[in-house]
Structure 1
Amino acid sequence: MLFVEADGVVVWDRASGIDRIDSLVAGRAHDPRLLRAPFFSVRTPHAWDPVDGWKPAGAVQRDGRASARRLRVLTWNTLWDRYNSDRIQTARRRPLLLAALAEADADVIALQEVEAGLLDLVLRARWVRDVYVLGTDPGGRDVRDSSLLLLSRLPVREAAVHALGPHKAVAAITVETAAGPLVVANTHLTSDHSVNGAAKRQIELARLAEVLAAVDGDVVLVGDFNDGDSGPDGPAGVLGLRDAWTEARGAGDGTPTFDPTANPLAAISSLSGRPARLDRILLRTPQARVIKARLTGDAPGPQGLYASDHYGVLADLALD
């Protein structure tokens, strides 16, 4: 036997000498998983070790903020280099994006359209290595397959993934807060660039509803929903979730997170040319009160370049 893992945490490892079987509650019956089969496949959270690099988070000590009664969540579609690579200045944008992510000072960061180059920058960033835990093994296939990445500076109890279809998934972690465990799920639904994109999104939303119904606990669902509708026909209405932006700023505030009229990068990729609020932070938790919500990356850098074609969305939650 080489190692023993419980609930995504390494509790015994022959090579490193780790033996935490008596000191951890991972895998014990009184602490059941929230992200369970058959909907979720277990993943191992990873954290940076100055000696051994990225390792299973259970083997790396972290000063988590589980006692904090406020939670800041950030979601951001980072614009991959897959299309129009000659027009979107990826090499110049990525440092702007990393700087904005660091400045956001978020407890949980959810990114979409993450490619190998951006993942490498994130993994090498000192501010990430010092305090954040990743929701998967950065050397595995998850980010490559789904382009989703979750980072948390709160203690991560478990991590998992659910496939929605080819290259579409839900990446999720359970973080420890002062109000108890909280599931944060990250997703990116099909865009209108795909054939029958709207119909595919409806199928994905229905699947999301089924997946979330199987989670016995509070949930924050974030990501790029590629759907600008509000009310009962929007993602929040279909899923029966609260929209953090609407609660903070009112139902009449439709501030776009994707704006081809203002952001040249969005103009390149837009099919309709219409601004829309595609990126959301949705809540299924009676204990969370929305304090405020705002955009980040909605202004260009010194040379007129935006960090992405989407703006990031930040929400501050009070855990009452």
Structure 2
Amino acid sequence: MIKVITINILFELDEWERRRELLVEGLKAEKPDLIGLQEVQLPEDTSAWLAERLEMPYVQLVPYQNNEIPGIPDYGAAMLSRYPFIQQDILDLHSQGRFAQRVRVEINGQSITFCNGHYYWYPGESPERVKQIQRLRDWLGELPPEMPIVAVGDFNGTPETRAIAHMKENYTSAYASHWGKEPEYTCPTPLSRRGWRRWLRQIILNWKANKTLKPWRGTLDYIFISSHWQVRDCRLILTQPAPFDRTLYPSDHFGLVADLAIAPEP
């Protein structure tokens, strides 16, 4: 059995030194084999700090190129592992300077592919996100059919969007498989209301996307699995604030963790 996690750790460095302690505490408690991180701040490389504290020595960091979103600092994505990488690859997603990443590892004699990504940001439906997911599916489709695949990340699409429906044509959501539905929401946590600038940005984005001032929240984060896997458990993590501050959360996203086992031969 393996344990995988996905978490968007938020590229903002405001209060990072306090947030990172909450991240380490929550992640360490799960004892994961593999973690997919999104929004790794650069050049500081917040993934390196986490990897060291979690004692996960194998890291693949992928900086994004020519970020097309105004006002967003340089950032990227990273994968942390307790096991050596047998093979490493990246995929240019051809928009917003983003890449998907994948590694092959061997755990208890079983070779698996672990993929991580942070896909096209736009509030709501997006044809560009659909194109990225098609590229991702084609890329993963190049792997041998017997290869077990886990693809995690911040997909920036809610369950009813075309991109997520497209992903589910080939892969199963571990959370929905285990619970019969997706979580009510994975983003934003109350951290997004911490500070007037962050709060105002949320209001403006919500108005542009949904034409309402009612606070938005939705499911953007997923653990997708190929048919080789059985889901033993899948749940939200990093869902609690600091004990001394009810709005200080590890990130503006919750994380997801899944315990997975190779399904027996039919």
CA distance in 2, matches of 1:144, 1:104: 28
Partner residue in 2 for 1:106: 32
CA contact (8 A) 2:173 2:225 kept: yes
Tell me which amino acid in the other structure corresponds to 2:58.
V
Length-normalised TM-score, structure 1 = 0.65
1:154-211 CA-to-partner distances (Å, cap 9, x unmatched) read: 3421111111124311111101134631100000001116xx9712101111111111
Structure 1 equivalent of residue 175 of structure 2: 245
Cα deviation for residue 92 of structure 1 reads: 2.3
Q: How many residues align?
A: 232
Instruction: Tell whether 2:219 aligns with 1:291.
Output: no
Gapped runs of 5+ residues in structure 1? Answer: 1-69, 137-141
| Offset at residue 148 of structure 1 (A) | 0.8
TM-score, normalised via structure 2 length? 0.78
| Pairs within 5 Å for 1:208-287 | 208-216=136-144, 217-230=147-160, 234-235=164-165, 237-251=167-181, 253-259=182-188, 263-265=190-192, 268=199, 270=202, 271-272=205-206, 273-286=215-228
Alignment of 1:161-180 (within 5 A): 161-165=90-94, 166-178=96-108, 180=110
2:210 corresponds in structure 1 to none
Q: Percent identity, aligned pairs only?
A: 25
The runs of at least 4 consecutive aligned structure 1 residues that moved more than 6 Å come to: none
Aligned counterpart in structure 2 of residue 154 of structure 1, from 63, 79, 83: 83
Aligned partners of 1:234 and 1:170: how far apart in 2? 16
Contact 1:190 1:226 in 2 (8 A): yes
Higher relative contact order (CA 8 A, sep 6+): 2
Native 8 Å contact 1:182 1:218 kept in 2: yes
Pair 1:227–1:133, CA change in 2 (3 A): same
Whole-Å Cα distance in 1 between the matches of residues 64 and 138 of structure 2?
Answer: 25
SS at match of 2:259: strand
What pairs with 1:120-131 in structure 2 (closer than 5 Å)? Answer: 120-125=48-53, 127-128=54-55, 131=56
- In the superposition, relative to structure 1, how do residues 224 and 239 fare at CA in structure 2: closer, same or farther (>3 Å)? farther
RMSD: 2.5
Task: Check if 1:311 corresponds to 2:241.
Answer: no
The answer on whether the counterparts of 1:191 and 1:197 sit within 8 Å (CA) in structure 2 is no
Q: Does 1:75 find its partner at 2:44?
A: no
Displacement after TM superposition at 1:238 (Å): 4.9
